[in-house]
Amino acid sequence: MSELGLTLARLAFLGLLWLFVLAAVMVLRRDLLQPAEARPIALGRTARTPKPVKMPKAKTSKVRGAKLLVTEGALAGTVVPLLTADVTIGRAPDSTVVVDDDYASSRHTRVFNTDGVWMVEDLGSTNGTWIDRTRITAPTALPVGVPLRVGRTTLLLQK
């Protein structure tokens, strides 16, 4: 083989190698980016958050009739009454709702009452806490009748 042919073969091999590396980087980048529906809810909010409004004590007593209904998962049909105490959901035995799910963390999420509004906070779980189809990253209000997903378990807030 001539010197020119050998040099051209080396350059072609080098070009193919670079194409392979760029293709691998593009595939990794695509896999690491989240789909649009999985973007955290906190990213869509403005930087300025309004101050919470203090509700009178009489209004907070109305939320005592609220409950969490498990609609999907191993505990389907379970009703958890929401009182004034926080409700923790996870695999840990000391959680209020103990879910036997490989996709749930030991201390996955917390549901709590703030001024008459039920809030959900993800406690640093691996697979995240989802309200409807939106992953939450900050304490977020839980609307009535909207699915709350923790691993493979789905819960609904009912009044």
- List pLDDT tens digits, range 81-123: 888 788 999 999 998 889 988 889 899 999 998 888 889 999 9
Length of the chain: 159
Q: Do residue 8 and residue 78 come from a single domain? A: no
Q: Is residue 16 part of a domain?
A: yes
72 and 141 share one domain: yes
pLDDT band at 27 (very low <50, low <70, confident <90, very high): confident
Domain shared by 72 and 18, yes or no: no
Exposed/middle/buried for residue 108 (C-beta within 10 Å: 0-12, 13-18, 19+): buried
- The answer for residues whose C-beta is within 8 angstroms of residue 10's C-beta and 6 or more apart is none
3-state secondary structure of 151: coil
**Domain interval for residue 6:** 1-34
142 and 71 fall within a common domain: yes
State the pLDDT confidence band at 60, using cuts at 50, 70 and 90. Answer: very low
Q: Using an 8 Å Cβ cutoff, are 133 and 40 in contact?
A: no
Strand 87-90 and strand 97-98: the pairing is: parallel
Instruction: Give, in order, the Cα–Cα distances in Å from 128 to each of 27, 79, 131.
Output: 24, 22, 10
Question: On the CB side of 45, how many CA atoms lie within 13 Å of its CA?
Answer: 12
75, 122: one domain: yes
Average pLDDT score over residue span 58-65: 48
Provide the edge-to-edge strand list for the sheet that holds 97-98: 97-98, 87-90, 109-114, 117-122, 140-141
The pTM of this model reads: 0.59
Asked if 15 and 76 sit in the same domain, the reply is: no
pLDDT at 62: 45
The tally of domains found in the chain comes to 2
CATH number at residue 82: 2.60.200.20
